[in-house]
Chains A and B, each alone.
Chain A
Amino acid sequence: MQNARDTFYVTLRDRLAAVNPVRTMVVRGVVRPGLLVEENELASAGESADVFRLRWTGLRVDAEGALPLVAMGCEIRYATDGSAGNGGMDRGRMLAAMCGELVAAVNAQPQNVGKMNYSTSPAVSMGTNVWWGDVAFGAVTVNAERLEQVANVEVFCFQEAGEL
């Protein structure tokens, strides 16, 4: 299932970068597209506004079929303070823009991609796909001047023989 997680992250990262190329962040001195997987970063990495943070949550495995069907919960967290130049009064618009970017990236067709194994160099294509449902949004949380949003996507894959 790690291959499916990696594949979904890379796909979503590339789609978000295509939707809004200027949404970037600096991680240890390097500019990257504005999406990161929390568990893949240093534990000391602080939370940044105006970027997407991906967190893997639930996991279900259905072993009835020829290949085990894996369903994984994916939580995407993001927040904004608005822009300082506008006194933060545009924070609602900026949050809405992030929601729009996420919908455009996650709900764009096709909602599937060939599973890749990135643990080898170069990455190799695997025999099955990764696919996912539409994005579902939770309630917006107001934390002082910051607006916080959590969105959820369910991601599916088949567990191939010998795959961890």
Chain B
Amino acid sequence: MNSSLGRPNFLNRQSFIELNARERANVLMDVGSAREFLGPFDRIESPWLAAQGITPQADDGCVVIKGRIAGQAAVAVALEGAFQGGSIGEVSGAKMTAALEFAAEDNARGIPTSAVILLETGGVRLQEANLGLAATAEVMNAVLMLRRHAPVICLTAGTVGCFGGMGLVAGLASYVVMTREGRLGMNGAEVIQEENGIEEFDPSDRALIWAIHGGEQRQALGLVDALVEDDVNAIASAVQALIRKGVPATHRSSEIDLYRRRIQSLDPSHQWEPREFRNWWSNRLAEDRL
């Protein structure tokens, strides 16, 4: 209990996770600066879903908002996790790629423009197969292009999480912001079970899933730059702070030798528990820095 009304703190915060993709992208922008590109009334939707008997969404589950964050030009691209699991199809992928490429062009023309990608996605949309895979490669290319000029911030608040090819995109981001509710990885629990059996990964064990893919573990492994509460203000300030920080001296994905050495010294014959692994990894992290 903290406020004069005697309400516990969690009642005073505004949940970010409960917002849809459009609302999420909008609340990150400085007040009055947001402008949407290719919104639902432009009807740039997937031409493939209806042919397969699936209801499309007018914006293909990808929201592009241009505006200012912390006074600086920025573009936010949000995937709608509730629509087809936030999956990347031909259209949603092209929207994300184009937004990042335009931001890179703006930087080249002397207008510093950073990007926030809000990833709630299982990765490639299976119904659009190869087009989704190609889109993922294009998004990765665009992130690499943009991050030389300005920070690309990946925000995975939850609860869908960020997996598959988009998990790799997150790996390329300049900074990663997560909540404890968010999840980040490449193969999700269900995929691992399907491939290697329930002994390998039990997707009904939610505590296990979050112990491995959850924001807290990811931060402890040094893969997350800001672990924040599910609160609009907390998340917006974390994003603003990272934009002010600018391009990092070294991107995490460039530290190939460091990660290769660390993985080589890992004993895969041992059954690692998430917490044990976290301790081992962070001790290694301390040694690497010596």
| A and B are partners in one complex rather than unrelated chains | no
Residues of A with Cβ closer than 8 Å to B?
none
Residues of B with Cβ closer than 8 Å to A?
none
